[in-house]
Amino acid sequence: MQPAQRRAALKAHLSSGKLISAPGVYDMISAKIADRMGFEALYMTGYGVVASYLGVADAGIATYTDMVNRVTQFGLVTSTPMICDGDTGYGGLLNVAHTVRGYEAAGACAIQLEDQEFPKKCGHMLGRRVVAAEDMAQKIRVAVDARSDPNFQIIARTDARTTLGLDEALRRAELYARAGADLLFVESPESVEEMERIGRSFDLPLVANMVEGGRTPVLPAAELERIGYRLAIFPALGFLSAGAALQAAYSGLKEKRSSVGVEVPLHDFQAFSKLMGFDEIAAFDKKYGA
């Protein structure tokens, strides 16, 4: 599908009333694997991208250029609608407009913008501070006006819950809804009861951030649907799984000085090579005698 078709498909899925479960992708291998599995959407996780691309914490170090380059590459190797983390918009209002246009041109179908102060932090860490609510609402208005495709979804995230409480987070989310956000993302509620209160408070599609080991309970899909969530992102599942597998594989190699006897599930090498495009290289070589 072309980007415009992907954006229309994502909007239709969100309007269906059924929960979308989007795996977090963080590099080209995870993106290619997830893209072939039939998900309605993928989620480009800022935490995972910054970790895999720069090897540092998701703490405001990555720039707009770093991130839009990743969005572009994800868009080139996938055909599934991609929801992309846009952090704080990488600056003031003019930066937000530039970021939205850049992400849309790169092939994203939705951008997530948050109300943290710069430098931002991962949403399940303590010590996050937020900007004035009206300043963030103005960012949402700018983002809505900056998009060229009305199907490009603007996700407004508030990080107010952890430091200012749920009442303030709900007040902010309502303000961002009135500013034109397509989806609302109240980050890191700390109980099912808080999640249910969020679900009762809004008519717009809601985002649940399911971080294994994070501050929010990870719930079954049916429970999320019952509460009223329409998009569940699983940003950490991929890189936590890969990290555990690599730890086990490399530990076995260190102990045995060989991969023989290392009991870690391995992707079939020939299938992996096909996934990376080596069949197309072979066809090219055959056609052109390279």
- In this structure, what CATH number is given to the domain that contains residue 226? 3.20.20.60
Q: Please report, for residues 32, 51, 149, 152, 206, the alpha-carbon distance to residue 78 in angstroms, rounded to integers and kept in the order given.
A: 6, 21, 20, 17, 25
State both tokens at 154: 């603007």
Rounded-to-integer distance, Cα 285 and Cα 290, Å: 5
Residue 119's pLDDT band, with cuts at 50, 70 and 90, is: confident
Averaged over 104-115, what is the pLDDT?
98
Averaged over 23-47, what is the pLDDT?
97
Closest CA to 55 of 243, 203, 234: 243
Asked if 126 and 159 touch (Cβ cutoff 8 Å), the reply is: no
The answer to whether residue 272 sits within a structural domain is no
Provide the percentage of residues in the chain whose pLDDT is more than 90: 92
Enter the pTM of the model: 0.94
Domain limits for position 177: 3-242
Burial of 145 by CB count in 10 Å (0-12 exposed, 13-18 middle, 19+ buried)? Answer: exposed
Instruction: Check residues 289 and 149 and name the one with the higher pLDDT.
Output: 149
pLDDT (0 to 100) of residue 289 = 86
pLDDT (0 to 100) of residue 125 = 63
Closest CA to 118 of 144, 87, 95: 87
pLDDT tens per residue, range 199-222: 999 999 999 999 999 999 999 999
The answer to whether residue 270 sits within a structural domain is no
The answer to whether residue 220 sits within a structural domain is yes
The answer to whether residue 133 sits within a structural domain is yes
pLDDT (0 to 100) of residue 69 = 97
State both tokens at 161: 């819950």
Closest CA to 32 of 1, 62, 73, 93: 73
The answer to whether residue 285 sits within a structural domain is no
pLDDT tens per residue, range 243-274: 999 999 999 999 999 999 998 999 999 999 99
Asked if 130 and 117 touch (Cβ cutoff 8 Å), the reply is: yes
The answer to whether residue 259 sits within a structural domain is no
- 93-106 and 133-146 helices cross at what angle (nearest 10)? 40
Q: Is 25 a residue whose pLDDT tops 70?
A: yes
Backbone φ, ψ for residue 210 (5° rounding): -95, 95
The answer to whether residue 262 sits within a structural domain is no
Rounded-to-integer distance, Cα 234 and Cα 34, Å: 12
Q: Work out how many domains the chain is built from and give that number.
A: 1
The answer to whether residue 247 sits within a structural domain is no
Residue 124's pLDDT band, with cuts at 50, 70 and 90, is: low
State both tokens at 238: 């991929």
Q: Is 107 a residue whose pLDDT tops 60?
A: yes
Torsion of CA 190, 238, 76, 71, to 10 degrees: 40
Instruction: Check residues 204 and 125 and name the one with the higher pLDDT.
Output: 204
Cβ atoms within 10 Å, residue 220: 8
State both tokens at 182: 């397509």
pLDDT (0 to 100) of residue 122 = 65
Q: Is 263 left (phi over 0), alpha (psi -120 to 50) or beta?
A: beta
Closest CA to 113 of 54, 57, 46: 46
Q: Please report, for residues 91, 221, 265, the alpha-carbon distance to residue 129 in angstroms, rounded to integers and kept in the order given.
A: 15, 30, 41
